[in-house]
Amino acid sequence: MAKESEVASCAHGIVYFSPAGSTRQVAITIEERLKELGRSVTVFDLSLGVDEVRAAIIDFCSQSGPCCVWVGSPVYCDHAVPLVEALLGQLPTVSERYSVPFVTWGGVTSGLALAEMGEILEQQGYHLLGAAKVIAQHSSMWGAEQPLAQGHPQKQDLDKVNLLVEQVVNKLEQPVKESLAPEVLDYLSPALRADAAGKNLAAAKASRPPLAANPDTCTACGTCEECCPVQAITMGNVPIIGDLCVLCMQCVQQCPEQAFPYDHVATASFIEAMAAASDEEKETAIFV
């Protein structure tokens, strides 16, 4: 659940959710650079148990002394994953607390995720020192010949993340910590902002048939239950998917029998059309 390095004046906590692995890759990059700079780092992976990690990060933030919380989420339906937003709203409000939200997004739009995460963190008293949106291969296009943002994050993306880490550490060393203005994260065009405001994960789940394995194909092997990052699946004769599902599609992708119906061609076509309609630059960006 957590890893620690040597103690330094400001403790850094990195909490993230990463079903497809891209947000984890960014979190690891942040961790390694902080350690190279001699900073204290504790890492919290929400897929190891949301309740347990929530308790651990709250305990971390409640300790005396300054701390900086780095919070990472993939962008789903133009927002951060709800469990990440819920966690932010539960952080203890104490003095000398700073934050850096970061998201990974698949080349359609990064949506309102950073702006909303930043707003919640500021409301909880965690002053923004920076933020990042890191482009990553679209997690729903694993069957496509040319998925959006194929091969990302690449070295140049992670180099920007390293630069962000260095600039945040530099801010923390100053007598007066210069905060990032929250409005900097309100970077979408009016059209994209309006579109994003009308989307959410609950609506996406309600608009499509429930995920269900074909009983003629499913062998009840349990792979889907094991790979579910939010423990939303229980096994019967076929997997039973509960309300905690975040539509990460890892159960569909990892199923050895391909028992979950999934139209790769239609999905890729739909995502590509959304990307074509988006005017957001398809690149990694940092904000400090």
Burial class of residue 31 in the structure, from the number of CB atoms within 10 Å of its CB (0-12 exposed, 13-18 middle, 19+ buried): buried
What is the Cα–Cα distance from 81 to 16, expressed in whole angstroms? 10
**Which amino acid is residue 277, in one-letter code?**
A
pLDDT score, position 123: 95
Domains of the chain with CATH codes? 11-189+280-287 (3.40.50.360), 201-277 (3.30.70.20)
Q: Where are the beta strands (DSSP E) in 83-145?
A: 97-105, 127-128, 131-135
Sign for the pseudo-dihedral over CA of 78, 276, 24, 232: positive
Query: Cα–Cα distance between 266 and 247 in angstroms, integer?
Result: 17
195: nearest Cα among 277, 117, 93, 97? 277
- 131 vs 154: CA distance, rounded Å: 18
Render each residue's pLDDT in the chain as its tens digit; 288 residues: 433 333 348 999 999 999 999 999 999 999 999 999 999 999 999 999 889 999 999 999 999 899 999 999 999 999 999 999 999 999 999 889 999 999 999 999 999 999 999 999 999 999 999 999 999 999 999 989 899 999 999 999 999 999 999 999 999 999 989 999 999 999 999 999 999 999 999 999 998 888 999 999 999 999 999 999 999 999 999 999 999 999 999 999 999 999 999 999 999 999 999 999 999 999 999 999
The answer, as to whether pTM is greater than 0.85, is yes
60 within 8 A of 83, measured Cβ to Cβ: no
- For residue 81, give both structure tokens: 């994953």
DSSP string, 189-229: -HHHHHHHHT--HHHHHHTSPPP---TTT----SHHHHH-T
Please check whether residue 84 is in contact with residue 114, taking contact to mean a CB–CB distance below 8 angstroms: no
Counting Cα atoms < 13 Å in the Cβ hemisphere of 188 gives 21
Per-position DSSP letters for 150-183, written without gaps between them = TT-S-HHHHHHHHHHHHHHHHHHTSSS--PPPGG
- The position carrying tokens 């096994």 is 235
How far is Cα 183 from Cα 219, in angstroms, rounded to an integer?
51
